[in-house]
Structure 1
Amino acid sequence: MRVAIFDRVEPSTFSRLPLRLVETCSRRAAVVMLVLTIPVVVAIGVYSIELLMQTAFRPAVRTLVAARPAIALEAMAGIAFWIYLLALPLKRLINRLSVSRTVEIDEGTVRVIEQDYFRTRSWIATLASFEGVTHHVRASLSGTRHELILVHPDREKSVLLSIAAQLPRSEVERVTSLLGQKEIPPSSLYRFNGRWPRVAVPALRDPAHA
């Protein structure tokens, strides 16, 4: 689960291990976006259905489909993909109304429980498997926020530690020391480490030794 979807971390600060963090989303913002998005999705859906019905009942179109059935399959695949594009943002907004993440960190282990309307997922990782802590500045329509993130090679397992309007250097150093982690650059969040299989490239033979 990506850290970007969360905009609240409680407690906002911590001073010792073990610690327990609860990450959630602003339900007010999600409801506003849902109210704005539903009419647009419904309007696009109704217009698409009307256009499809008008096209389907044209004699020339029915004759073409009868002669080339593959065209009908392609059209149905396109419609299914269009429905998916409409439903995806709605599903994400609905998830934001219920999504939460509970994080427990001790001297050597990170335990996480992720919940939303559709599923509950839990996982455990050793603290040593994380790459470090980064100070990340995220800009959005609502403003700029400073984040402390415990970065894992698998981006889905990176953990949001705190959110603030400003993060002094002393706070970054305090958290890295507490967790026994090094500070790493924000660019580490956008590396696809471990996400793609490694491809072995055979060495080219030297023509001189052929």
Structure 2
Amino acid sequence: MRRQDFEVIEVSGSPYRLPIVLRQTNSKLSRVPGLVLLVILAALIVGPQVGFAAYAIASPEVRSALIAQPVVAIELALALVFWIALIVWPLRNILFALLSDREVDIRDGEVKVIDRTAFSKTFWRMPLATYEGVAVHVRSSLSGVRQEAVLVHPNKNRSIVLMAAEHIGAREVEELCNLLSLPSAPAERHFGAGAQVSGRENAVAA
């Protein structure tokens, strides 16, 4: 499963006491304008083209004309596919983000994660000892800039955001490191180009 970034990090209980139980989701309100815009564009641009394609298939005269001029038919088909892809792909990404969430449970020397999407539910676990440490990463988005305390794994798809705030100080990082018995790790160990990207190891479909 590909790495999914979440905007909302909900901590059940104290983040500085085991077990650490997290629920990670995305903000629905921030994506509504984009969703509405794409639906309007689909209605204005793709809708008429789909209607014309249906009419062309149903009409013997238009169908005969297109068969007689295959180059025109191919150009129209490519234009239809282009506009559909231009609308459907970002729409798919928005819906995927809205319908995805993650549950994290860290206890007894193990990290357990349940990833849910609209079409699947995946469970995976990793020994806490395989993680390299806790790093602070600065993330920028349309909603602003925030810092994230990340539990860093050599495979960045297995890294976990433990908390997010406007500012995460050295004291908070030290408390997390002491709690998890892990060192502080530089952010580039997780977000650098050398990180592994395979996301299938130790994953079990639930």
Distance (Å, rounded) in 2 between the aligned partners of 1:12 and 1:18: 9
RMSD of aligned Cα (Å)? 3.3
Structure 1 segment 34-183 matched on structure 2, within 5 A: 34-46=35-47, 48-49=49-50, 62-65=67-70, 72=74, 79-80=80-81, 82-183=83-184
Q: Which amino acid aligns with 2:195?
A: N
Shift of 1:164: 0.6
SS at match of 2:91: helix
Change (3 A) 1:185 1:12: farther
Shift of 1:41: 3.3
- Highest CA radius of gyration, 1 or 2? 1
Change (3 A) 1:171 1:14: same
Specify the alignment match of 2:204 in structure 1: none
Q: Give the TM-score taking structure 1 as reference length.
A: 0.73
Q: Which runs of 4+ in 1 moved over 6 A?
A: 50-56, 58-61
Distance (Å, rounded) in 2 between the aligned partners of 1:193 and 1:108: 23
Structure 1 residue runs without a partner (length 5+):
197-210
Change (3 A) 1:111 1:77: farther
Change (3 A) 1:27 1:195: closer
Farther off after superposition, 24-33 or 98-107: 24-33
Specify the alignment match of 2:8 in structure 1: 7
Distance (Å, rounded) in 1 between the aligned partners of 2:154 and 2:111: 14
Shift of 1:133: 1.6
Distance (Å, rounded) in 2 between the aligned partners of 1:103 and 1:12: 13
Shift of 1:48: 5.0
Change (3 A) 1:139 1:193: closer
Shift of 1:88: 2.2
Farther off after superposition, 176-185 or 2-11: 2-11
